[in-house]
Amino acid sequence: MNIPKNPIALLAAGLLIFATTNRTYGADPAAAAAHGNKGNELAQAAKYDEAIVEFNKAIELSSSDPRLYNDRGRVYRAMSKFVEAIADFDKAITLAPKSETGYIERGQTQMSQNKFDEALVDYNKAVELNPANPICYDRRGFAYYNLRKYDEAIKDYTASIEKVQTNPLTFNRRADAYVAKNDFASALPDLEAALKLKPDDFDTTQRLQFVRAKMAASKPVAQAPAPAPSPTVAPAPEPMDMRMKIGIGVAALVVLILIIVIISRRKNRGY
């Protein structure tokens, strides 16, 4: 192979090699970003097939950017193409193993398939990688809730709320966990906070009415004082039968006659 000794020729050859390499590997971050932005716009408009086309182009131009795989994976998930979504999140995790984003997204995809244990593993890793991210706790709390581990769910929702108090969904979810434990008194302030953050939200309003009704039903009903006992009144005697009255009168008369006779005899005898 003849190597040109002319510096200009060497420079030209180098530029040619660089350009060829660029075309071979498709490394064009600016163009990739443009396609990625377009893909996100289309995804927000629910034009998922067109969005996938844009993300495919973006990945062809910048195949080492984990954000593009996360974005495309979200679109696949919205299309219920879970196998393709998981593959994209796996790739994102491979490219950025110290970022919690890929684990959060893969966990949510597992949740979409009711694979709560698998999701919990991913959320645990996300919390480990970035314990300052409130989303990690919110998502893990939801996994715990679906596994009926309500105390753990409440603990994670509380951790999320302590970091950010402006997400009504987290307040609603913690309220749901309290309701699952029949702790309506604790659910009430969470629902009131959620409604304050998002006024006139129908779902929150329905939850709030349900909790208030449950609390009202659980309150003991005040018993009216028992009335004072009435004084006992002796029943009136039944009227005497007329025949009995005549009999008693006759008997009394007979007795009286006998007494008179006895007294008369004593006088006649000189007593």
Question: pLDDT tens digit string along 195-220?
Answer: 999 999 999 999 999 999 999 998 87
pLDDT of residue 219: 80
pLDDT of residue 261: 59
**Closest by alpha carbon to 52, among 74, 27, 80, 24?**
74
Residues above pLDDT 70, as percent of the chain: 72
| Range in 5-9, 131-135, 219-223 with the lowest mean pLDDT | 5-9
> Domain holding 44: CATH number?
1.25.40.10
Range of 46's domain?
A: 29-96
Whether the pLDDT of residue 90 is over 90: the answer is: yes
Give domain status of residue 84, yes or no. Answer: yes
pLDDT tens across 51-69, in order?
Answer: 999 999 999 999 999 999 9
Give domain status of residue 46, yes or no. Answer: yes
pLDDT of residue 232: 58
Whether the pLDDT of residue 88 is over 60: the answer is: yes
Residue with tokens 């192979």: 1
Give domain status of residue 89, yes or no. Answer: yes
Give domain status of residue 151, yes or no. Answer: no
What dihedral do alpha carbons 11, 12, 17, 21 form, nearest 10°? 100
Whether the pLDDT of residue 14 is over 60: the answer is: no
Give domain status of residue 239, yes or no. Answer: no
pLDDT tens across 230-254, in order?
Answer: 665 555 555 556 666 666 666 666 6
Q: How confident is the model at residue 167 (pLDDT cuts 50, 70, 90)?
A: very high
**Identity (one letter) of the amino acid at 112?**
S
**What total of structural domains would you count in the chain?**
1
Give domain status of residue 73, yes or no. Answer: yes
pLDDT of residue 257: 72
Q: What number of CA atoms fall less than 13 Å from residue 256's CA on the CB side?
A: 6
Give domain status of residue 175, yes or no. Answer: no
The backbone region for 255, taken as left when phi is positive above 0, alpha when psi lies in -120 to 50, beta otherwise, is: alpha
pTM of model > 0.95: no
Give domain status of residue 55, yes or no. Answer: yes
